[in-house]
Amino acid sequence: MTNFHDTWRLGDLTVNRLGLGAMRLTGMPWDERPKSREDAITVLRRAIELGVNHIDTASFYFTPKRSANELIATALQPYPEDLVITTKVGAGRSRDGEFSFARPDQLRGQVEENIRQLGLDHLDVVNLRWGAAMGKELGSVADHFGALAELREAGLIRHLGISNVVADQLTEALSIAPVVCVQNRYGLTDREDDALLDLCGELGVAFVPFFAVTTSIPGTAAPGAVRGEAEVAKVAAAHDATSAQIRLAWTLHRGAHVLAIPGTGDPGHLAENVAAGGLRLSEEELALLDGVGRG
């Protein structure tokens, strides 16, 4: 069974399977008021105290008053030796919040921006974020991933990952350079990537879901994502847990190679997320939840 203290290796880097996503540290576009900077710094420092050693971030995680990378650098430098910071490039945002997608020759600038903001001399893991803002796009990733492979050879990046992709794009990336992780949207009722998750397990590649608790993200839940709340609530009651905790626990039960990166800017929610990593779901409970997800 899964436990928060289980680990997985991203290349030569060992991480606990329950990490922290940094996107919510800055606040989300639909938040009524800016998130507290003090709370964000508290969350980051408390996460380290609780054993989190994998943080997912990006230079395009920002609001007019907050930057996730700046918060991480302020809160955690000098960085713990075992901390792994994963970043994303490919996507970018203008100051007014509009998303754009980089050409291969623009990726070096994005990598260097993350390095500068985080106060590092290289990046541990960089994911190529592919496709549209929310949906996937088919097509070759070779030019973009190849550009990142060159930056890896140059020493700016230690390991490479890929995000928002289909199986053929993962296979293509693997033909260019080692891939240590795939980061796609996935959750209990967002099961489009079941086969890709299994493929990653066969290949020894970490599968890292984002938006695993889809019902809490306005506008991002897949069709039917609120389905099964009664079943989730039943399992939650048996464990004296929240529905979000059960969804996270179910995610970790999907395989030893599955990592979780729930995001929060609230210290209380952080503690709940970490506690979810220690939940043990029975075979009967897993069967009940799997039935919801595949319904």
| CA distance to 38, 53, 125, per residue, from 50 (Å) | 18, 9, 22
3-class state of residue 11 by DSSP: coil
Confidence of residue 288 (pLDDT cuts 50, 70, 90): very high
Long-range pairs of 175-178 with CB within 8 A, sequence gap ≥ 24: 176/142, 176/145, 176/146, 176/149, 177/145, 177/146, 177/148, 177/149, 177/152, 178/11
Span 170-194, pLDDT tens digits: 999 999 999 999 999 999 988 999 9
Task: Evaluate whether 250 touches 283 at the Cβ level (below 8 Å).
Answer: no
Task: Evaluate whether 200 touches 219 at the Cβ level (below 8 Å).
Answer: no
User: Mind telling me the catalytic residues?
Assistant: 61
18-22, 71-75, 218-222: segment of lowest average pLDDT: 218-222
Span 212-233, pLDDT tens digits: 876 444 444 454 456 678 899 9
pLDDT value, residue 44: 98
Q: If you average pLDDT over residues 156-169, what whole number do you get? A: 98
Is residue 2 predicted with pLDDT exceeding 50?
A: no
Is residue 255 predicted with pLDDT exceeding 70?
A: yes
Span 96-140, pLDDT tens digits: 767 789 999 999 999 999 999 999 999 999 999 998 666 788 999
pLDDT value, residue 144: 98
Task: Evaluate whether 147 touches 107 at the Cβ level (below 8 Å).
Answer: yes
CA distance 122 to 155: 7
CA atoms within 13 A on the CB side of 212: 30
Max alpha carbon distance in the chain (Å)?
53
146-155, 213-222, 240-249, 266-275: segment of lowest average pLDDT: 213-222
pLDDT value, residue 115: 98
pLDDT value, residue 220: 47
Highest mean pLDDT among 31-35, 57-61, 177-181: 177-181
- Candidates 90, 40, 89, 48; CA nearest to 65 is 40
Q: If you average pLDDT over residues 240-249, what whole number do you get? A: 95
Is residue 158 predicted with pLDDT exceeding 50?
A: yes
Q: What is the mean pLDDT of the chain?
A: 90
Is residue 53 predicted with pLDDT exceeding 70?
A: yes
Confidence of residue 50 (pLDDT cuts 50, 70, 90): very high
CA distance 107 to 146: 11
Residue type, 239: H
Task: Evaluate whether 157 touches 126 at the Cβ level (below 8 Å).
Answer: yes
Confidence of residue 30 (pLDDT cuts 50, 70, 90): low
**DSSP string covering 68-134, please?**
HHHHHHHHHPSPPTT-EEEEEESEEE-TT--EEE--GGGHHHHHHHHHHHHT-SSEEEEEEE-SSSS
Task: Evaluate whether 277 touches 251 at the Cβ level (below 8 Å).
Answer: no
